[in-house]
Amino acid sequence: MLLDMELKQTAPEDCIGDFTYNFLWQHKGAKLNPTGVIPSQSCTSYSYEDVVAALKSGEDVHIRGDVGTRLASSLGVDLVYFGGNGKELPDVGSIFVDGNVDSHLGISMLSGAVYVKGEVKEPLGNVVQVKSDREGHKKFVSITWLLHHPEERDSILEPNEFKESELVLTDRVLRHTLAARCISETKVRVKGDVGISVGILMRKGRVLVEGNAGMNAAALLNGGSVVILGSAAEFLAVEMRKGIVFVKGECKGYVGAKMTGGRFICRRTNPLPPVTEKVLEKEDMELLSRFGVSGMLTMNYGRYEV
């Protein structure tokens, strides 16, 4: 029988339960040492790596006190960088926080759950609040988890809901990495704006954003589609591999950076090479018409691909 891990934090610390160790492959240990002891513990000396290993083994982690930003980042992802397959870990443990949680909870989170007794600061990551089975705690699970597991969808709290198998997010909460790593032919509709990296690493499904999107929209998209009815910030479709992206509004700079496949349709822009503009095809015209662009207005749009 597993014994739960418990940390008593005398001050909030960042990146606890962060499976990426704050994107270790980018900073190579300069920002965070996985084997380093998490600061501000009382009576324990667990490292960042200890916490992640416990969660991977199915052990729950209890934190007494407040925590900082990026709690549970990529929780439940079997990351390729660390020898995994990039898919969800089905039996990952949960995190319980008896205090407050800073922003970016659950960036790119895939499985597991986070229970919070205090307040959670926005923006959030790829999480949504569901019915809690822990008295006095709010429960958050991965949006992608709900997309992959229809049997869990009845747990979602209003005003968010599933309508005819489409997840409709109406709570106006700003979220980063929404629908990260989705491999299910499902749909998400956001009645509002999204933060950075919407649809990152998606392989299937569709995300429809009725507002604006932050930087890196459709980053590393590997299938499926991302539709943005507002405008998109810089680095739209960065490192895109497959799939379709449509932006009805304006796009900022560095469009299509390091893109290797797929296509995007947007107002005429200057993409980064080797991306070039192509003639709009019948399927592109149908897509434009579906979202209210027809007639002479279509002349303002282009199709872009490698």
CA angle 4, 62, 31 (to 5 degrees): 110
> Could you give the C-alpha distances from 157 to 32, 84, 132, in angstroms and in order?
35, 33, 10
For residue 8, with 0-12 CB atoms within 10 Å meaning exposed, 13-18 middle and 19 or more buried, which class applies? Answer: middle
Nearest Cα to Cα of residue 180 among 136, 216, 233, 231: 216
Residue type (1 letter), 46: Y
Both tokens assigned to 281: 């095809």
Coil, helix or strand for 264? Answer: strand
Backbone angles phi, psi at 58, to 5 degrees: 95, 5
What is residue 186's DSSP assignment? -
pLDDT of residue 1: 44
Q: What is the pLDDT tens value at each position of the chain, 306 positions in all?
A: 456 899 999 999 999 999 999 999 999 999 999 999 999 999 999 999 999 999 999 999 999 999 999 999 999 999 999 999 999 998 999 999 999 999 999 999 999 999 999 999 999 999 999 999 999 999 999 999 999 999 999 999 999 999 988 999 999 999 999 999 999 999 999 999 999 999 999 999 999 999 999 999 999 999 999 999 999 999 999 999 999 999 999 999 999 999 999 999 999 999 999 999 999 999 999 999 999 999 999 999 999 999
The first and second tokens of residue 152, run together, are 């869990």
Kindly list the structural domains of the chain, giving each domain's residue range(s) and its CATH number in brackets, ordered by start.
1-157 (no CATH), 158-306 (2.160.20.60)
Residue 179: name the closest of 222, 118, 229 by CA: 222
**pLDDT value at residue 164:** 87
pLDDT (0 to 100) of residue 3: 65
CA angle 79, 80, 86 (to 5 degrees): 60
Instruction: Kindly state the DSSP code that residue 237 receives in the 8-state scheme.
Output: T
Contact between residue 122 and residue 128 where contact means Cβ atoms under 8 Å apart: no
pTM listed for this prediction? 0.96
Helix intervals (H) in 43-178? 48-56, 143-148
List of residues 6+ apart from 113 with CB closer than 8 A: 94, 95, 139, 140, 141
Q: What is the DSSP letter of 121?
A: P
Q: How many C-beta atoms surround the C-beta of residue 85 within 10 A?
A: 10
